[in-house]
Amino acid sequence: MFCFYCNTTEDHTAEQCQNRTLVPEASLVINRPENLQLGDTGYETDYAFIEVEWDKAKKKKQGKKQVKLYDQVANTFFGAKSIEMFIISRLGLISWAIVTIKTQAHPLFNGIVVQRAENLSETYDYVVVGAGASGLTVANRLSEDPSITVLVIEAGQFDRNEDFVTIPGLAGGAVGTKYDWNTSYSANDALGGRVVPIPQGKIVGGSTKLNRMVFDRGSKSDYNAWEIFGNSGWNFGSILPYFKKNERFTPPTKEILAEYDIEWDMAFHGREGYMNVTYSPFIWPTHKNLINATKESGIYISGDQASGNAFGGYYCPHNMDPISVTRSSAKEAYHDTAATRQNFHLIAENQVTRIITEVLDGTVKVTGVEFATTSQATRHTVGVSREAVLAAGALHTPQLLQVSGIGDATHLNSIGVEAVVNLPAVGHNLHDHVSAAVINTLNTSVLTQSSLQNATLAAQARQEYDAHRKGPYSSPTGDFLLFLPVSTYSNATAEIYTRAIAGNASISLPADTPAEVLKGYQVQYNSLNNRLLSNESGNLEIIWGDGAMILGLQHPYSRGSVKASSASIFDPPIADSGFLRNPLDVALLREGIRFARRFITSPSLAVLNPTEIAPGAAVTSNEDLEKFIRGGASTLYHPAGSCKMGPREEGGVVDAELKVYGVTGLRIVDQSVFPQLPASHTMTTAYGVAEKAADIIRGL
């Protein structure tokens, strides 16, 4: 018999396997969705693809017996009476099997993942572009109505439950792999001409498969500002129900509560959402030093960041399954829970190349979506009867609009694209949380993250995780964060504020910024100035990493833009982050470095015997600190704002219902619509916006 979970022949079936609870159930990739029928024990289908992974040593030993063994595998999986198998092989090492079956599929498998474009329906009510947090959330909610058909098109592929995707302690390990777009911001003069990489998920689940699993919200004032910018109905109170709708919250373990004074208020948490959220079952010991130093410094500690008081210091939850202690991504939360619906289709490894529009009675209307696997591959088209919903992210969504003829007519002409709708604001207002770092080595006997560099200790930690789901690998780190108002970390607040109100907002923007974008940014600029004096939102994040302190500027003044580099979606866009374009951002980070140096001398941190190695003790003057900041500033991986929600005359690309101006049947639901970044990591906000967007689309 063959056991899927053991991945070999065993003396038990898959249903009897003891490993079953530790391995996510597989998904059946259906090539012909119209042939799916729900039966008593599973699905019936004419065609299916299964991937079978084999131990290479066994492959070599089995030789000619492989075909017979594959036949056994297929019978075990499907109980097939009639099997025709085509084996793709190279030098006798077989890793893929294409199986044609005419019987019931194994009940483990469900879901409709369309393998070939020609097998899609001709038309769908909604076509969602992008299978990340935003796209899968909206697609899931729309498909709750069985009379509505939904197609999701994703450029990336499904992961294979690799350790670096699933294990919290290895979070971030997928960056730079095939699951990453491997894009970069363009060379920036303000950074000495440096190019900064900006990882983005190219995978079903999007960046929720790549990130460090930080599940926090911004402050009330962050979201209330969105309404001030002209977006009626977008404030903390109106988004809160959708934060809760997304969430399935589990309190900390008893062991963690015995050591840490974590508080939570269920009035601000959800119990029945799709996204598992909880606290790490292991917290690195120096966090106690960090928390005590926060108290010694007189910094406010929020009882529950989810309440809207997300400033000062707070314990941070993570998107983590509390039982399996594995990553809970958009794929597990929103794809897998919709995959059994016959009206929910997804095609992966296909990139949308163009939004197709027609002019009907003087109105530009979306009628279809074009897509392909590569730049040289055949283009396919699927019809859209209601709306196309864009969720390709802050870099690719504006690019897709532009190559589809929606954007600045002058720019479109320069890349050979005919303008369908002249919407100059598309791609502008791009901004990201810019970061700097203060690095200290520690001389202590307290267990630190560097201990995992020891192979023996790392092996022991991994064994503890595998056996008990505890220990260092059960934490993605970032279990206690600081989000500090300017007055908390700087003695120069008044000076910086004086410079800000006397400054010119335009220096924050690219030289070719359209007039309406400048007009809208002026409102943001005034808001940013007021935040310098406010204690109701963090301006500087501090992420502690056993001596390393990553400083993230939460409300940067600087803005950039996204421009399609050609008429082809397959050519990466030119993404100007705008980092440090406005010198005020340098001043705010410089004050952050000075605070970090004071903070490390707090009694509870001083006992760890820190020694600064970057910037280095000799780097103290304003000039030297600025040189250090400009030479090393990077991203916290939160690009947003490039299709801003707001009035069209103030640089808005979408209105408060997320409809693209000038086009019927087109909405945007991802981070590109954020008018201004909240002081937080952005995943939770992306989910909240998408949940709200789904209700707006449904007219609820």
- Angle 683-698/236-246 helices, nearest 10 degrees? 100
Which one of the listed residues 106, 287, 380, 638 is annotated catalytic? 638
* Rounded Cα–Cα distance for residues 347 and 116 (Å): 8
Residue 368 dihedral angles phi and psi, to the nearest 5°: -170, 175
Residue 573 gets which letter from DSSP? Answer: P
* Rounded Cα–Cα distance for residues 253 and 250 (Å): 9
Radius of gyration of the chain (CA): 26
* Rounded Cα–Cα distance for residues 635 and 559 (Å): 13
Residue 235 identity: N
The answer to whether the annotation marks 673 as part of a ligand binding site is no
Please tell me whether residue 585 adopts helix, strand or coil conformation: helix
Contact 170, 368 (CB under 8 A): no
Contact 159, 179 (CB under 8 A): yes
Torsion of CA 437, 440, 444, 450, to 10 degrees: 50
Longest C-alpha distance within the chain, in Å? Answer: 80
For 113, half-sphere exposure in the C-beta direction (CA atoms, 13 angstrom radius) is 22
Is 468 annotated in the active site? Answer: no
Residue 302 gets which letter from DSSP? Answer: -
Which residues have a Cβ under 8 Å from the Cβ of 617 and sit 6 or more positions away? none
Contact 171, 214 (CB under 8 A): no
* Rounded Cα–Cα distance for residues 596 and 298 (Å): 14
* Rounded Cα–Cα distance for residues 124 and 452 (Å): 50
CB count in 10 Å sphere of residue 12 = 12
The DSSP-derived string for 316-372 is --BSB-TTT--B--HIIIIITTTTT-TTEEEE-S-EEEEEEEEEETTEEEEEEEEEE
CA distances, 172 to each of 23, 206, 217, 541, 601 (Å):
20, 13, 20, 19, 30
Question: Helices (H), strands (E): how many in the chain?
Answer: 19, 31
Contact 685, 235 (CB under 8 A): no
* Rounded Cα–Cα distance for residues 450 and 445 (Å): 12
* Rounded Cα–Cα distance for residues 354 and 396 (Å): 12
List the alpha helices (DSSP H) in 64-187. 66-78, 133-142, 163-166
Is 12 annotated in the active site? Answer: no
The answer to whether the annotation marks 320 as part of a ligand binding site is no
Contact 640, 677 (CB under 8 A): yes
Residue 606 dihedral angles phi and psi, to the nearest 5°: -60, -30
The answer to whether the annotation marks 454 as part of a ligand binding site is no
The answer to whether the annotation marks 224 as part of a ligand binding site is no
* Rounded Cα–Cα distance for residues 440 and 457 (Å): 22
Torsion of CA 459, 461, 466, 469, to 10 degrees: 180
Give the DSSP H/E element, type plus range, for residue 382: strand 380-390
Which residues have a Cβ under 8 Å from the Cβ of 264 and sit 6 or more positions away? 249, 251, 303, 304, 306
The answer to whether the annotation marks 211 as part of a ligand binding site is yes
* Rounded Cα–Cα distance for residues 28 and 214 (Å): 31
For 509, half-sphere exposure in the C-beta direction (CA atoms, 13 angstrom radius) is 24
Q: Which sequence positions are flagged as catalytic?
A: 638, 681
Q: Which residues are annotated as a binding site?
A: 211-214, 352
Q: Which residues are annotated as a binding site for FAD?
A: 211-214, 352
